[in-house]
């Protein structure tokens, strides 16, 4: 096959789940990146494209900032099926006897390894397309259990290149957890950033060097 014209930068031509890739049904795809790399934005875009292409699917999330929705930092959001660790994803795919065509799974790092295995089973037995999005490593720099299982089982795994940056300007590769202004490396795995929480927990993007050293952006003295 020859390509007469190189693809333009149009979003439609580079996103998975657009018309050209619809011919390939039944794949487990995993796209991973740091926070702020646009995972939820991509999840919303794919769900939108496939729904408007006449396919029937579910947008699933876990612990999203807005509850039963997937929301993007860019301000877009859509209704979502909220998953918890006891949810059997095969039941969602079967959809009361009217099987879905696809599932888009945001925050997939929080899924249990068993749920990732359910996704692979859904792909193999029902020929659904599954698009999973998630973080690679947690604040300790370790693979999330769900992410590890996805890397083991996915037909296709790819990093989302969004050029998220550390405060120093280098490419951000790690998510740092900040408790009361200090980076921590131990603690509960799942803590959602919440300004109401005491002590206050937040997350910051860091390059590996500054994730390792724990050094945040130096205070700027505005005099």
Q: Which residues of the chain form contacts with Zn ion (CB under 5 A)?
A: 166, 168, 170, 207, 210
CA neighbor of 89 nearest in space, from 68, 61, 112, 118: 118
- Least Cβ distance, residue 171 to Zn ion (angstroms): 9
Catalytic residue among 107, 121, 158, 163: 107
- Least Cβ distance, residue 73 to Zn ion (angstroms): 20
Angle at CA of residue 166, ends 186 and 105, nearest 5°: 70
d(CA 161, CA 113): 25
- Least Cβ distance, residue 89 to Zn ion (angstroms): 37
- Least Cβ distance, residue 170 to Zn ion (angstroms): 5
| Residue 107 bears catalytic tag | yes
Output 79 or 170, the one with its CB closest to Zn ion. Answer: 170
Output 172 or 201, the one with its CB closest to Zn ion. Answer: 172
Per-state percent for the chain, helix, strand, coil, to nearest 5:
30, 25, 50
Helix (H) or strand (E) holding 32: strand 28-32
Output 119 or 207, the one with its CB closest to Zn ion. Answer: 207
The number of CA neighbours under 13 Å toward the Cβ of 115 is: 25
Residue with tokens 């696809």: 102
Output 84 or 170, the one with its CB closest to Zn ion. Answer: 170
Name the residues annotated as catalytic: 107
């Amino acid at each position: 096959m020859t390509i007469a014209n190189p693809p333009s930068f149009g979003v439609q031509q580079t996103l998975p789940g657009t018309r050209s890739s619809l011919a390939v049904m039944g794949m487990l795809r995993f796209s991973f990146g740091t926070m702020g790399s646009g995972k939820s934005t991509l999840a919303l875009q794919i769900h939108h494209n496939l729904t408007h292409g006449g396919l029937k699917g579910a947008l699933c999330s876990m612990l999203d900032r807005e509850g039963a929705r997937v929301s993007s930092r860019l301000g877009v959001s859509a209704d979502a099926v909220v998953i918890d660790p006891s949810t059997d994803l095969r039941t969602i795919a079967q959809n009361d006897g009217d099987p879905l065509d696809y599932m888009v799974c945001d925050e997939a790092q929080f899924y249990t390894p068993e749920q990732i295995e359910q996704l692979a089973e859904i792909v193999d037995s029902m020929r659904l397309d599954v698009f999973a999005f998630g973080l690679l490593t947690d604040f300790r720099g370790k693979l999330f259990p769900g992410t590890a299982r996805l890397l083991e089982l996915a037909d296709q795994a790819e990093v989302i290149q969004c050029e998220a940056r550390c405060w120093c300007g280098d490419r951000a590769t790690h998510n740092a957890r900040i408790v009361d202004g200090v980076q921590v490396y131990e603690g509960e795995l799942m803590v959602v950033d919440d300004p109401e929480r005491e002590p206050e927990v937040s997350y910051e993007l860091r390059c590996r060097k500054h994730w390792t050293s724990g050094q945040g952006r130096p205070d700027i003295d505005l005099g």
